[in-house]
Structure 1
Amino acid sequence: MKKTSWISKLTSTIATGTAAFMLFAGFASAHVTVSPSVAQTSAWQTYTIKIPSEKELPTTKITMKVPEGVAFKQYQPLAGWKITTEKNDSNEVTSITWEIDGDNEGILAGQFQQFNFVAQNPKAEAEIAWDAFQYYSDGSIVEWTGQPSDANPHSITTISEDPAAAGNAAAGGGHANDGHDSAGTEGATGDNAATDDSKANDDTTLGDALNDTVTGEPNNTDTDPGTLKLQQATLIVSILALILSFLGIALATRRKKR
């Protein structure tokens, strides 16, 4: 009887711990992010904001503030989402909002959504912060406005004059320059190549940025390997927790009968 009681307690403890781990796994790395994280000064840049769902409720609206010094130009329309902007007295866009439209249920649990827009970067080097506000169907709001060490950090993009840094951003989804990578064209070496690429970045146009825009689909859940692995791990842990819970209940029932 003591043995059964010990096993029951152990099983219950494991089940509780597993459930806690499952909850943690569901929230791990679930941050609103804006990419690229490094971009060229003065360039017309294609940006992508990625919104994951971190609750068991659908996300129905997202508002993003445009950082000071960034000139918002255009957004990419997306079926199922109504997109609006706010402007100041100088007719500059200060924020953009994506809100569900029609039959769209929003970003459901285990899903994420990406939105694309074009903006012109500041002329001087800087770190720009993208404050975002995520609205859920129950009216709750998650404010992604904290520092990198906070629980809800805002995403940061480093604006740099270094063509190599801008090239790294382009490789991660930044702007194109008519076939010229900011890190240097294939086969180009030395200071002359760096100088040519720097000039190419300065001459980046709105057309160049728009040519690099990725066509989005509502509630895209299958294109991020990291998200898929997280979902699979969460499912496995959830099943394990369920099995252990039933085992604990069975052992407890058996003990009572004795």
Structure 2
Amino acid sequence: MKKVTLLLSASLLMMMLFASMASAHVVVYPQQTTQNAFEKFTVRVPSETANTNTVKVEIKFPEGVTVSRVEPKPDWKYELTKDATGKITGVVFTATGAGLAATEFTEFNLSGKVAADAKTLSWKSYQTYKDGSVAEWVGAEGSQKPASVTTVKAAAAADAGGHDTGHQAAAGGESAGSESSPLPLILSIVAVVLGALSLVVSLTRKTK
């Protein structure tokens, strides 16, 4: 019985860990858009390190999207980065005040156009804390520090009125407030843990 109790405690700890990993990272919304669409992208940044604030956030724009506008934000200044041709390749937001404490988050808004041949947009970002540490959100999906990825659907054909339905405002896309739920992943983990518990209980009974 003690073994079963320990395993249950471990499974609950795993669930909490995975739920935290699924929510506590830089995410760009919408997480799905359309080729050739004009889109508003919202970068959600949580601050999660205790005893130090987030004071700078750098976002590198992926191939497949041309960002042309940045929404100003109170208590933050921004600087655009450009390549040799003058194309905007990223933006650096720097806090003019205290920045974000460990229990806070903020959102930065960008506006741009998705390329006609884009498939996925991988947003690499770098979160700098006041103590000098940097969280690099640049990894693959499922890694400890993943880059946020936006899936790009094929553009729809022109509608009956001759308007390109792929040309859409941000309001027509996925809402920035609708987060992708970690529930399917958690349920899968629970199923695996319960299966292991059943096996342990069965073996325990056989040894008695």
TM-score (norm 1): 0.56
Partner of 2:165: 201
Partner of 1:145: 138
The verdict on how the C-alpha distance between 1:122 and 1:45 changes in structure 2, with shifts beyond 3 A counting, is same
- Partners of 1:123 and 1:47 lie apart in 2 by 17
Structure 1: any 5+ residue segments left out of the alignment? 1-16, 164-191, 213-222, 227-258
Partner of 2:36: 42
Aligned counterpart for 1:88 among listed residues 56, 59, 83:
83
The verdict on how the C-alpha distance between 1:58 and 1:199 changes in structure 2, with shifts beyond 3 A counting, is same
Count of paired positions: 163
**Which letter maps to 1:65?**
K
- Partners of 2:79 and 2:98 lie apart in 1 by 18
Conserved 8 A contact 2:79-2:91? yes
Cα displacement string for residues 134-162 of structure 1 (whole angstroms, at most 9, x for unaligned residues) = 00010000000000110000000111125
Aligned counterpart for 2:127 among listed residues 129, 134, 140:
134
Tell me by how many angstroms 1:225 deviates. Answer: 10
Tell me by how many angstroms 1:107 deviates. Answer: 1.0
- Partners of 2:36 and 2:128 lie apart in 1 by 32
Partner of 1:54: 48
Is structure 2 residue 107 aligned with structure 1 residue 107? no
The verdict on how the C-alpha distance between 1:69 and 1:224 changes in structure 2, with shifts beyond 3 A counting, is closer
Which runs of structure 2 are paired with 1:1-258 in the superposition (5 Å)? 24=17, 27-28=20-21, 29-56=23-50, 57-101=52-96, 104-161=97-154, 163=156, 195-196=159-160, 199-204=163-168, 208-209=169-170
- Please state which structure has a larger fraction of its residues in strand: 2
**Which letter maps to 1:201?**
T
- Partners of 1:88 and 1:135 lie apart in 2 by 23
Residue 101 of structure 2 aligns to a residue whose secondary structure is coil
The verdict on how the C-alpha distance between 1:30 and 1:123 changes in structure 2, with shifts beyond 3 A counting, is same
The verdict on how the C-alpha distance between 1:197 and 1:38 changes in structure 2, with shifts beyond 3 A counting, is farther
Partner of 1:6: none
**Which letter maps to 1:45?**
E
Conserved 8 A contact 2:69-2:111? yes
Structure 2: any 5+ residue segments left out of the alignment? 1-9, 181-208
**Which letter maps to 1:111?**
E
Q: Which has the larger radius of gyration?
A: 1
- Please state which structure has a larger fraction of its residues in helix: 1
TM-score (norm 2): 0.68
**Which letter maps to 2:60?**
K
RMSD (CA atoms)? 3.1
Partner of 1:229: none
